[in-house]
Amino acid sequence: MDPGLLRQAMREQIKLQIVYRDPQGNETLRVIWPIMLGFIESKRFVAGWCELRADFRTFRADRIERVQLIEERYPGRRRDLVKKWREQVADAASLSDV
């Protein structure tokens, strides 16, 4: 996956259409609103809103087979979406501690 394309999508708040391969090798077509690029252990990931799942998801970059910019801005501000994503991650972590 081209990190420059991803950064452009995040900067311009543009949706991406991706073909994502799961651990079993199955591919799904997704439209995501990319909000963050980062690392978990040694794997690069993309965090964003997934329209298919209607929820925040993280996608391993090495499992993204194809990516295409969609000339459509996603609603809201990326900064606000990052805040909501972090809250969701924190909530999930606190539940796993129980």
pLDDT in tens, 49-95: 999 999 999 999 999 999 999 999 999 899 999 999 999 988 887 77
Only one residue has tokens 């990190």, namely 3
The range of the structural domain enclosing residue 52 comes to: 3-96
pTM of the model: 0.88
Name the phi and psi angles at 14, rounded to 5: -110, 140
How high is the mean pLDDT of the chain? Answer: 92
Q: Which residue has the higher pLDDT, 34 or 2?
A: 34
Residue 91 has a pLDDT of 83
Number of domain units in the chain: 1
Q: Indicate which CATH number applies to the domain containing 72.
A: 2.30.30
Q: Which residues contact 19 (CB under 8 A, 6 or more apart)?
A: 27, 28, 29, 30, 64, 65, 66, 67
Provide the pLDDT for residue 11.
94
Residue 98: predicted pLDDT: 55
Q: Is 12 helix (H, G, I), strand (E, B) or coil?
A: helix
Rounded Cα–Cα distance for residues 51 and 10 (Å): 16
